[in-house]
């Protein structure tokens, strides 16, 4: 059982993808990272000797420190943060244990430079894919990601001028391929294949491509997405509302697919 200062990989994975996810910081030394250039979903890298510089922004937040094996670097960095009042834990077994548990890992060279948050750009007036993809990015890649919604004709030019990543437009790095939608492309391309995300992808694909034979939930997602779009004139406000929708879809896909509901009359 993990003590107060550590968390095991399965418990951490249960938090990632939800609004309760901790901030994950990878403190592996460069040589170890170059040998295995993958990150736990949402993780950002920071040298262990610089971890104290992050402390002012981490007070009041839950932080998990990952190193190669969950030993001196992970526990030392977590202990240092606790001196600043940060709720910090080390990942038990580190990245080695995460890999051994066959949990999703993101290849670092697939990620755009983060800085204060990655920037992504797509067509305005989103419906399904253009809300589902930002949800995936914020929950599994970069919680601080920013999204720009612009006219379709300007997406690629805005991406170039503002160093943003274009998505869900023809010719962009992340878009439809055959019957697969952009959400499918991101789940596969970023190495996020999990049973829950694969189940979500099928529902999103069917709703986005109008193939409701893929899953009975496709029609429901389409209806809710159209309703969100009609109810919000501001694309960013729609995105924030959509985060709640896709949080719920994720929890259904992960934990609730076998649950059903039927009204039963209660005897007097």
> Does residue 268 lie in a domain region?
no
- Residues 89 and 161 grouped into a single domain: no
Among 86, 109, 132, identify where a domain stops: 109
Domain count of the fold of the chain: 2
95-140, pLDDT tens digit by residue?
Answer: 999 999 999 999 999 998 766 689 999 999 999 999 999 999 999 9
- Residues 139 and 11 grouped into a single domain: no
> Does residue 266 lie in a domain region?
no
Model pTM score: 0.94
> Does residue 261 lie in a domain region?
no
Task: Place 265 in a pLDDT band, splitting at 50, 70 and 90.
Answer: confident
| Dihedral Cα 142, 147, 152, 153, nearest 10 deg | -90
- Show the beta-strand stretches assigned E in 105-256: 106-107, 119-123, 146-150, 165-166
- Residues 92 and 164 grouped into a single domain: no
- Spatial separation of the C-alpha atoms in residues 137 and 148, rounded to whole Å: 14
Among 109, 138, 157, identify where a domain stops: 109
- Residues 134 and 236 grouped into a single domain: yes
> Does residue 220 lie in a domain region?
yes
DSSP symbol at 253: I
Please state which of the ranges 3-7, 31-35, 191-195 shows the lowest mean pLDDT. Answer: 3-7
Q: Provide the domain limits for residue 91.
A: 6-109
Q: How does strand 87-91 pair with strand 62-66?
A: parallel
Tokens of 162: 């503002």
145-177, pLDDT tens digit by residue?
Answer: 999 999 999 999 999 999 999 999 998 989 999
Q: How does strand 44-45 pair with strand 38-39?
A: unpaired
- Residues 161 and 240 grouped into a single domain: yes
- Residues 164 and 73 grouped into a single domain: no
> Does residue 267 lie in a domain region?
no
- Spatial separation of the C-alpha atoms in residues 208 and 205, rounded to whole Å: 5
What is the Cβ-side half-sphere exposure of residue 62, based on CA atoms within 13 angstroms? 12
CATH number at residue 10: 3.40.250.10
Tokens of 224: 């809710």
73-83, pLDDT tens digit by residue?
Answer: 999 999 999 99
Please state which of the ranges 32-36, 39-43, 111-115, 226-230 shows the lowest mean pLDDT. Answer: 111-115
Among 47, 75, 109, identify where a domain stops: 109
199-217, pLDDT tens digit by residue?
Answer: 999 999 999 999 999 999 9
């Amino acid at each position: 059982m993990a003590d107060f200062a550590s968390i095991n990989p399965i418990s951490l994975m249960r938090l990632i993808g939800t609004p309760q996810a901790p901030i994950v910081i990878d403190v592996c030394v460069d040589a170890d990272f170059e040998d295995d250039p993958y990150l736990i979903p949402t993780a950002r890298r920071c040298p262990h000797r610089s971890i104290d510089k992050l402390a002012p922004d981490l007070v009041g937040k839950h932080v998990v420190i990952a190193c190669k094996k969950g030993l001196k670097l992970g526990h030392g960095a977590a202990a240092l943060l606790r001196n600043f009042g940060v709720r910090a834990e080390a990942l038990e077994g580190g990245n080695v244990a995460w890999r051994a548990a066959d949990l999703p890992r993101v290849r670092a060279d697939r990620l755009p430079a983060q800085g204060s948050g990655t920037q992504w750009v797509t067509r305005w007036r989103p419906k399904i894919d253009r809300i589902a993809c930002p949800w995936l990015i914020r929950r599994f890649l970069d919680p601080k990601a920013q999204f720009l919604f612009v006219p379709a004709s300007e997406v690629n030019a805005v991406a170039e001028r503002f160093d943003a990543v274009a998505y869900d437009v023809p010719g962009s790095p992340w878009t439809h391929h055959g019957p697969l939608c952009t959400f499918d492309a991101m789940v596969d391309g970023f190495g996020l294949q999990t049973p829950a995300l694969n189940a979500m992808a099928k529902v999103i694909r069917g709703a986005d491509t109008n193939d409701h034979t893929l899953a009975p939930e496709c029609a429901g997602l389409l209806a809710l997405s159209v309703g969100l779009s009609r109810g919000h004139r501001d694309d960013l406000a729609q995105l924030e509302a959509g985060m709640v929708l896709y949080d719920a879809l994720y929890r259904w896909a992960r934990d609730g697919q076998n649950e059903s509901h039927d009204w039963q009359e209660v005897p007097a």
